[in-house]
Structure 1
Amino acid sequence: MENVRIEKINLNSSQRLKVESFLSTFNLFLDKDVEYTIVAKKDEEIVGTCSYFGKILKCFAVKEGIQGEGIASKLITHITNKLFDEGIYETFIFTKPKNKYIFKGIHYHEVYATDEVVLLEGGMASIEKFIQNMFKKSKLGNEKKAALVMNCNPFTLGHRYIIEKASKENDKVVVFIVEENRSLFPFHVRMDLTKKGIEDLKNVKILPGGNYIISSATFPSYFIREADERLKAYTKLDAGIFSKFIAPIFHIQRRYVGTEPYCNVTNEYNQTLHEVLPKEGIEVIEVDRIGRNDKAISASFVRELIKAENWEEMRKLLPNSTYEFLKSNDAKEIIQKIKRSDSPH
């Protein structure tokens, strides 16, 4: 290992192509969203690489035949030290189950595994402590609850309808808002609009989803090439983590979801919840979305209307709080992003 050195890669140069070529020998590729990439070199040959986006380490590979030389440890240590310098003390790795022992050997801990993927956590991350702390901060009791997981990008009358239905049918309801800032509406805006949109429903609590409610945008693509396989792996992992860790601590007995006529990701996710959650004693209730003019109300449709500047139609699909926000100066930058996007997410 003495003659192995670690180098940072300029992702906007031809160096990126060399990393992509190296990863391709493992049937992997370099995710488009990586922020920082390093390589291990031995006599000018790339023998290993690792990248990160946010708190997530990804696109990791070490040349076959030299995995026992400590190169993996050197790569991961470099990345985690870089993140530590940036004030990020919790890290996560999605990888194939066969690779999990590499990371366990350098102090990563398994969170949850499916046949296709395993999630590991490192540094100060601890799912048990995180969920317990989230529950304590929520000031919720031990009564049985219903739950919803939503992105609310933005909050619509469709979201309101499903939450209100759950509110009428249960003593207490928890709504987890996906926390990652991978949506056109930032997390703090989505949280605020959701709270304002249901403030009259006194038995509903809105909480940030945290690190362990995973969005399809965060789930890596680099080691599962086929979109359908990647989607299935993501939904099984997320549903498994919810049922094993979140539901027991929050005393969740029911999970409400909305039907989704336009989004394959949501449809697949709902199907997986039906497969996974009842086995853990959690009832899944799928609610038909309300519509206007024979079209279901959805956040994606609202974003299309924003892009088309169809304010009259938009007003029919939104609570006053969301509509007023969109008409305010605070929404100008978000609206411009939506208009610039090829396909609003």
Structure 2
Amino acid sequence: MYTLKRIWLNKDPKGYAQWEKLVIAAGLAIGEEVTYTIGLFEQERLIATASCYHNIMKYVVVCKEKQSEQLLTRMVVHLTMRIKDEGYTNYFVYTAPKNRLIFASLGFHEVNACKDIVFMEQGTPSFASYIDLLRQKATDKEASGIVMNANPFTKGHLHLVEAAANQSEQVYLFVVSEERSEFSFQERMAMVQQGVAHLSNVIVLPTNNYLISSAVFPSYFLKEHAPLAIAKTQATFDAKLFKEKIAPVLSITTRYVGEEPYSQVTQLYNESMATIFEPEIQLRIIPRLLVDESPVSATKVRQALKDKDQDVLTKFLPESTYSFLKKYNYI
């Protein structure tokens, strides 16, 4: 008889030590964000564990000698109920390819896979509904793609979009939907839409859960605190999902990114895209815009907002963003 208990990883040193040993033995890297962890115990011994970060299941592990006992199913059902109780209507899991059939039997559908990882989901909205949205926006033109957080939308972002618009028949501009920024998704989307309104060949789209999200690429939001080995795996997976499942729907053959001298994770993402995209998609890196010999960055703008530095704000923000921030009392 096994006992299912919650493990408080940040409060229970003994529980954490057992969890860490089990996870490492399964070949998984420590460092992913989690908000809830459970374990199955045989008396005092941890024999299986599973975690979630909000509606994303992670670290689903059963020790080798117990893998024939369907313990994984028991833990996934428990996590699913918890996620539903928290109000989510869809949920995701990263798992090893060997677990694909088990999760499929529990109602999960595969979104994408690579050598070591299968990414699956259940519920609505789904990846299929996201692809339907993209199809509705698709044109017959050969296109470029840009993905940006725009936190907030700066002259640097505008410079990148205008470069793509000048060199492409059609540009699909994806705004990160994840709510892990100082500005909400709705605010960032509005700033981008207003900022590119003069560009008739740019269509603005959300990323939902499928590009630079907590489900696909959580390390992106940790930046300098992200373990680089984990970030590289996630960046590669994000790039592969874009190349294989999203770009073909929109006839995207070029992806534009900004030069990134400051963030290791973003630089690693650019490198992963360059490797994964070849030869089907060309990656074009646009040098950062300089204003008075200073590189424009959203980080500097956010600091200027805190410091009420009007000089930086007027130099680094397009009129549309400045007006938006003033209207909603950020300035």
Taking structure 1 as the reference length, what is the TM-score of the superposition?
0.82
In the aligned structure 2, how far is the partner of 1:226 from the partner of 1:327?
Answer: 34
The 5 Å alignment of 1:112-123 reads 112-123=112-123
- Alignment partner of 2:278: what SS? helix
In the aligned structure 1, how far is the partner of 2:269 from the partner of 2:10?
Answer: 35
Select 1:157's aligned residue among 155, 158, 166. Answer: 155
Unpaired stretches in structure 1, ≥5 consecutive residues? 333-345
CA spacing shift, 1:118–1:214, aligned 2, 3 Å: farther
Select 2:18's aligned residue among 18, 22, 40. Answer: 22
- Higher mean C-alpha deviation, range 97-106 or range 203-212: 97-106
The residue aligned with 2:55 is 55
CA contact (8 A) 1:89 1:123 kept: yes
- Alignment partner of 1:212: what SS? coil
Considering only aligned residues, what root-mean-square deviation do their CA atoms show, in Å?
2.8
Deviation at 1:90, TM superposition (A): 2.1
The residue aligned with 2:91 is 91
In the aligned structure 2, how far is the partner of 1:32 from the partner of 1:171?
Answer: 40
- Higher mean C-alpha deviation, range 267-276 or range 35-44: 35-44
The residue aligned with 1:337 is none
The residue aligned with 1:283 is 282
CA contact (8 A) 2:151 2:181 kept: yes
CA contact (8 A) 2:211 2:217 kept: no
CA contact (8 A) 2:19 2:46 kept: no
- Higher mean C-alpha deviation, range 90-99 or range 189-198: 90-99
The residue aligned with 1:341 is none
CA contact (8 A) 2:305 2:330 kept: no
The residue aligned with 2:325 is 326
CA spacing shift, 1:143–1:99, aligned 2, 3 Å: same
CA spacing shift, 1:226–1:65, aligned 2, 3 Å: farther
Deviation at 1:107, TM superposition (A): 4.1
The residue aligned with 1:339 is none
In the aligned structure 1, how far is the partner of 2:166 from the partner of 2:102?
Answer: 49
The residue aligned with 1:335 is none
Deviation at 1:192, TM superposition (A): 0.9
- Higher mean C-alpha deviation, range 312-321 or range 78-87: 78-87
In the aligned structure 2, how far is the partner of 1:181 from the partner of 1:119?
Answer: 21
In the aligned structure 1, how far is the partner of 2:294 from the partner of 2:95?
Answer: 39
Taking structure 2 as the reference length, what is the TM-score of the superposition?
0.85
Unpaired stretches in structure 2, ≥5 consecutive residues? 220-224
Deviation at 1:125, TM superposition (A): 6.6
Q: Deviations over 1:110-142 (max 9, x none)?
A: 333334543222345753443123332x3x323
- Alignment partner of 2:68: what SS? helix
In the aligned structure 2, how far is the partner of 1:217 from the partner of 1:294?
Answer: 37
The 5 Å alignment of 1:1-345 reads 3-9=1-7, 13-14=11-12, 17-26=13-22, 27=24, 33-43=33-43, 45-97=45-97, 100=100, 103-104=103-104, 106-124=106-124, 126-136=126-136, 138=137, 140-215=138-213, 219=217, 227-279=227-279, 281-331=280-330
CA contact (8 A) 1:56 1:93 kept: yes
CA contact (8 A) 1:178 1:213 kept: yes
In the aligned structure 2, how far is the partner of 1:130 from the partner of 1:252?
Answer: 16
- Alignment partner of 2:140: what SS? coil
Number of aligned residues: 322
In the aligned structure 1, how far is the partner of 2:216 from the partner of 2:129?
Answer: 22
Q: Deviations over 1:254-298 (max 9, x none)?
A: 21111112122222211222222132x222221112112322111
In the aligned structure 2, how far is the partner of 1:330 from the partner of 1:9?
Answer: 43
